[in-house]
Structure 1
Amino acid sequence: MDIAAMVNELSGDLGDKAYEVSDALARIGSEEVLQAMLTLLQHPHAESRYMAARTLGLMKDNAAGLEPLLDAIKDKQNEGQVGELLSVLEGFDVSGVYVELFKLYLFGNFKVSMIAKDLLDHKDFDITPRVLKKATKHWNHYSNNVKQDDLFVLKKAEVDEIFEDLTAFLDDQMPL
């Protein structure tokens, strides 16, 4: 298969077979495909950026795509598609990016917040005292800069439960 031709099908105006092409590229999963998808994450068309992220999320060896995808999620040009890009993280080992996901949970719009919370609830993470400290710092920043309304009270209850769980986990990890 001609990888360059397949990548070209995900560039610009997408055809009817874009998802099939994405699936095929993910199955190929070569370094060439990985590099092409990383380049496509910067494409001017939002649909092409999403297809690149989707393909990366479906690849088996996609660890090198995690940081660029997180950068794409933070990029202002992707502001309208953060939820779609974030959902692709389901296909990645996100064990080392708890704090980044926690920040998206706190500061994202409703859709982004819910997707980030789902990832936080269902993925495995490398939790350390430093991770808890950083998450607490972001919570303090959030709680000091938002309206203290009913929605805040609900989020505070969720965050209190998260921090209790993390603290209990860390306490269980400490040698007696």
Structure 2
Amino acid sequence: MDSTENNHIDRLIGKLLDQSNEDPMKYGDQLVRIGGEEVQGKLIHVLKSGEMDEAFLATKVLSRMENKQITLDALFDVIHRPANQHQNGGLVSLVEEFDIIDKFVDLFRVYLFGNFKSSTLAKVHLDYAEFDITPRTLKKAKKHYNHFLNNSSKGDDFELKKAEAETILAELKDLLDEEE
């Protein structure tokens, strides 16, 4: 990629992220049309290092590009950061733009540890999305559940989440036992 095209991509990303633009997605559309690893890499960098509003816009554009698995992995990395725990609901809302069949454990973590919005959105995915469940999935989910039990404040929603999580884990165990 030559420097002229690289500069053009950087300008489009700058316009996408410029809060004074009323329709930033028109620049996102242009980035999608250009596509490629260079655009994806720059947008993933914005996702990982930008403010939540910037990360949200970058993810919206990335969700319309090829090679979504790399984006989804980066998205969950950002969602799971402790510093983002109380402001990541917008990013969790974009998870539905991706194939989440292998992301049960990530969504379970968001359900257990997220703020109200992200936890609620994760629960909807846990209830209605289709997942590839393996014994390893159950083992990892139990690990996060135990972490939740030992490290969460025992506030009003703790008992409700605890009961719901136990139901989810029991249903997973039953599902796996049926397959044997």
TM-score (norm. length: structure 1): 0.81
Q: Any idea what SS the aligned residue of 2:22 has?
A: coil
Cα deviation, residue 90, structure 1:
1.0
Q: Secondary structure at the match of 2:145?
A: helix
Instruction: Pick the aligned partner of 1:69 from 62, 72, 75.
Output: 75
In structure 2, list runs of 5 or more residues that go unmatched: none
Counterpart position of 1:165 = 171
What's the counterpart of residue 119 of structure 2?
A: 113
Q: CA deviation at 1:76?
A: 5.1
Please say if 1:51 is aligned against 2:57.
Answer: yes
Give how far 1:8 is off. 2.3
Q: 1:45 to 1:152 in 2, by over 3 A?
A: closer
| Closer, same or farther: CA 58–119 of 1 in aligned 2, 3 Å | farther
Name the % identity: 39
Return the alpha-carbon distance in structure 2 between the equivalents of residues 110 and 116 of structure 1: 10
Aligned residues: 174
| More moved, 42-51 vs 84-93 | 42-51
1:11-160 correspondence to structure 2 within 5 Å: 11-26=17-32, 28-75=34-81, 78-146=84-152, 151-160=157-166
CA 1:107 to 1:80, structure 2 compared with 1: closer, same or farther past 3 Å?
Answer: closer
| In structure 2, C-alpha distance between the alignment counterparts of 1:127 and 1:120, rounded to whole Å | 12
How far apart are 1:48 and its partner, in Å? Answer: 1.9
Give the distance between the partners of 1:172 and 1:56, measured in 2 at CA. Answer: 38
Question: Relative to 1, partners in 2 of residues 1:70 and 1:14: Cα closer, same or farther, differing over 3 Å?
Answer: farther
The worse-fitting range, judged by mean Cα deviation, of 58-67 and 146-155 is 146-155
CA shift for structure 1 position 82: 0.8
User: 1:14–1:47: 8 Å Cα contact kept in structure 2?
Assistant: no
Q: Deviations over 1:64-85 (max 9, x none)?
A: 2122222222335545531111
